[in-house]
Amino acid sequence: MSLLFGSSQTQLLIDAINGYLGANSHGGFYWFLTDQLAANILGGYSNVGNTGETAGTIGVYSFKLRISSFGANSGDSFPMSNSFSTFKGGAYHSFALAYHDDYGRHSLLNILNEGGVGNSVYVPHLNERGDTASLEKLVANINWSITSAPPSWAKYYSWYYSGNSIGYDFVQFVASEYPATYGNIPPEMTSDHINISLKSITDYNNQTDDATVSYDFAPGDRIRFLRYASQEYIDETIDLPIIKAQDFPGETTVIDDIGNTTTTPGQYIITIPRNAKLEAAYSENGDTYTNLFFEIYKRKNNKSSEDEIYYEISEKFPIGEFTYGVGTGNPITTTAHLYPQGTFSRGDVYISVRSLEDEEDTTYFIGESPSISDTVYSKYRDGGRANYSDNDQGETRYTAQVTYSMPYVSGTKINGLSNFNPVVLPFKEYDRSNGPIQKLFSQDNQLIIFQEDKVNKSMVSRNVIFDNQGGGTLVGTTANVLSDAISYQGDYGISRNPESFAEFGGRIYFTDAKRGSVLRLSRDGLTPISEYGMGTYFMDKLTDPDVINGKVIGGFDPDNGEYIINFRATTIAFHEPSKRWSSRYSFVPDSMVYIFKDLISFKDGNLYLHNANEERNNFYGDDHFSMIEFVSNASPSDKKVFLAIGLESSDAWACPQITTPSGQETNLLVTDFDKREGYYYSDILFDVNTPNVENPLIEGDRIRDYAATIKLTNNSTEKVELFAANVNLVKSFRHNG
């Protein structure tokens, strides 16, 4: 037995992984790291008190989102030449968590179900943030923390985002000075309506190279006013519907007799209802709507959280396993998020700085924009894989169901082995009354299904006709991936011990602990090999509840042709060529497997190769001894005197115990055996229980009975062969039979 990969090497591997995680654990999302400008601004943020918080749970999962800081550079000036990422103000933002297993498979989303609008956190609008004279609250970040434990199967988690509740069809700008009435241009105010000029957008596009800011009216559009021309924010919420929008082209007028003309510029005017709050803002703005800062937005269709599509916005973050209470004798192991809190520091819109020039002055105004640039307009949002939420989601265990992938088509580029498309119902349900499926094994064109209480086979892409006895006959191919189950004769399953499974040369071996049997499945069906002289033994041992609910380790040794099983520190082997239970072994493995012709076992995290060297009687670094126990009962009706033992062996053995049914006992040392003509021979010493003698082995009674049980041992680390053990005996003349 040779050690291939030890626990020390395993620890080195673990240390290397931990070292990598430690060296690369930045604790933030890529939204924070990929935008260096935003990262620099982060250092100058001015933290303020929490302005909003929402928390919630779904099932056993819960998390909390809160608005904790708004900020920009702490100085009096704002950089005019850049756009900065922020979360859209005046809108709800929906986030969700997905958990991933070791194979990269992820759950549906876990979202908030209370607070905000169902599942969201609200980012206050620019005029709702207080301290309105300051520029330091233009950029909004969202802090997050996860307040619950992850599911037990999860190894990673990642964040998803569905966008804001307003959407990205919005424009923030300032109103133009209203023109003098000419042609069809309506007055600025009527008894029912107020008209606002958006000529400022056209002026900005004309003054700014390649600028493409625009607004096109659609029914349902709304406008809200946020800031006065003085840059003071409007305290009141003024949010009104846009009734209509009209485009008035410019007009050219002759002004004297020689043909001089003047051109009145075109106007784009929106009409909104009169409103007391807006008229108060008009007065506060110097009896004008000029340079009032507004936002026009389109109503986003409200969807339930289940209808929202979310997109992955973070890398996968690890989930760790922790054990506490080790010193108490009752340690508890739990899982936890390694990064349970963080900041979404790159938002879904941008802070833009724009300027408008007139004959007297240049007006700067700062607001939000859905595009990072006014010259190359884009509403693109960086997001990863799509996912969704289902409030009816839950865990259902299909314990008797086989799920299969789409096919791999040889000779083509079609590889569907990772595609389990639920639309095509890629599963086959088997009889749940036979218990959960414990093991699947593919052999030829059939799938062998080991359930707890039954063994079946299912043909792959084959049609089967069943008779009234449950038997099946193969009749041809079919588009169905799996046929109905064909049961093997015999009421046997694999119980709860799939680890007992072993296969070699087309033969399958396993145990059925619930029925106290060890079985072989081959072309002639199921055979209970435990019945080869060991039926009572296995019925007694395997049906122990500790075995049924514990482990039965199975493996096949190709070198010796043995199926080896271990349970409750007992290792025993079935010799296939002789069809008998031939040996017990001293090693107690944690697991066994054969690779090609080699038997490999695992113990305490180490991997061992069997039959790999000439050292004998040594397993897992510990020395053991070989032991043979047999019964001598020739002429069973006669009482006999046991005189001597002869061993046809390549080495001498000790005989630590010879006993008889009547209670006699003796023993022989290795040195008691003499080598005679290639055999090892020793007289059998006398009964150690003989009374009233000083040295019973020499002076006591002879071993005399109907039978004797003889035990031989050998602790040599070299190869020793024992071909036969012969007992020299004579009939006892004291016997009257």
Do 370 and 480 reside in the same domain of the chain? no
Q: Which of 624, 653, 669 is the last residue of a domain?
A: 624
Do 476 and 509 reside in the same domain of the chain? yes
pLDDT tens column, 322-373: 777 666 777 777 888 888 888 887 788 888 888 888 777 777 888 899 988 8
417/717 Cα distance (integer angstroms): 50
Q: What percentage of the chain carries pLDDT values higher than 90?
A: 45
Contact residues for 303 (Cβ-Cβ < 8 A; gap 6+): none
| Residue 378 within a domain | yes
Angle at 429 between CA 415 and CA 474, to 5 degrees: 75
CATH number at residue 679: 2.60.120
In this structure, are residues 557 and 503 in contact, taking their beta carbons and an 8 Å threshold?
Answer: no
Domain count, the chain: 4
List, in sequence order, the alpha helices (H) in 469-561: 535-542, 545-548
Q: How confident is the model at residue 464 (pLDDT cuts 50, 70, 90)?
A: low
Do 638 and 515 reside in the same domain of the chain? no
Do 226 and 315 reside in the same domain of the chain? no
| Residue 279 within a domain | yes
pLDDT tens column, 268-306: 999 999 999 999 999 999 999 999 999 999 887 665 555
pLDDT of residue 150: 87
pLDDT tens column, 679-699: 999 999 999 999 999 999 999
| Residue 4 within a domain | no
CA distances, 313 to each of 27, 143, 168, 306 (Å): 14, 15, 18, 19
355/203 Cα distance (integer angstroms): 10
pLDDT tens column, 89-131: 888 888 888 899 988 888 888 875 444 344 578 888 888 876 5
| Residue 616 within a domain | yes
Do 379 and 446 reside in the same domain of the chain? no
Stretch 697-709: mean pLDDT, rounded? Answer: 94
pLDDT of residue 64: 36
pLDDT of residue 445: 86
Q: Which of 624, 652, 679 is the last residue of a domain?
A: 624
Least Cα distance to 653 among 699, 701, 617, 697 occurs for: 617
pLDDT of residue 131: 56
Do 162 and 178 reside in the same domain of the chain? no
| Residue 122 within a domain | yes
Do 248 and 306 reside in the same domain of the chain? no
pLDDT of residue 335: 84
| Residue 19 within a domain | no
Amino acid, single-letter form, for residue 601: S
Do 523 and 592 reside in the same domain of the chain? yes
Stretch 20-34: mean pLDDT, rounded? Answer: 27
Asked if pLDDT for residue 514 goes beyond 50, the answer is: yes
Instruction: Enumerate the β-bridge partners of residue 680.
Output: 647, 675
- Of 98-107, 159-168, 259-268, least confident by mean pLDDT is 259-268
CA distances, 532 to each of 231, 275, 327, 492, 737 (Å): 96, 98, 49, 17, 34
Do 586 and 535 reside in the same domain of the chain? yes
Angle at 506 between CA 501 and CA 508, to 5 degrees: 20
In this structure, are residues 539 and 516 in contact, taking their beta carbons and an 8 Å threshold?
Answer: yes
Do 523 and 406 reside in the same domain of the chain? yes
Q: What percentage of the chain carries pLDDT values higher than 70?
A: 79
Do 214 and 121 reside in the same domain of the chain? no
CA distances, 20 to each of 8, 9, 17, 362 (Å): 19, 17, 5, 54
| Residue 137 within a domain | yes
Q: Helix (H, G, I), strand (E, B), or coil: what is residue 623?
A: strand
How are strands ordered across the β-sheet holding 2-5? 2-5, 606-609, 598-603, 591-595
Q: Which of 244, 279, 297 is the last residue of a domain?
A: 297
pLDDT of residue 22: 36
Least Cα distance to 652 among 556, 721, 603, 705 occurs for: 721
Asked if pLDDT for residue 729 goes beyond 60, the answer is: yes
Do 71 and 183 reside in the same domain of the chain? no
- Provide the domain limits for residue 556: 402-624
| Residue 11 within a domain | no
CA distances, 512 to each of 163, 438, 485, 523, 538 (Å): 55, 12, 20, 19, 10
339/28 Cα distance (integer angstroms): 9
Least Cα distance to 465 among 481, 486, 450, 445 occurs for: 486
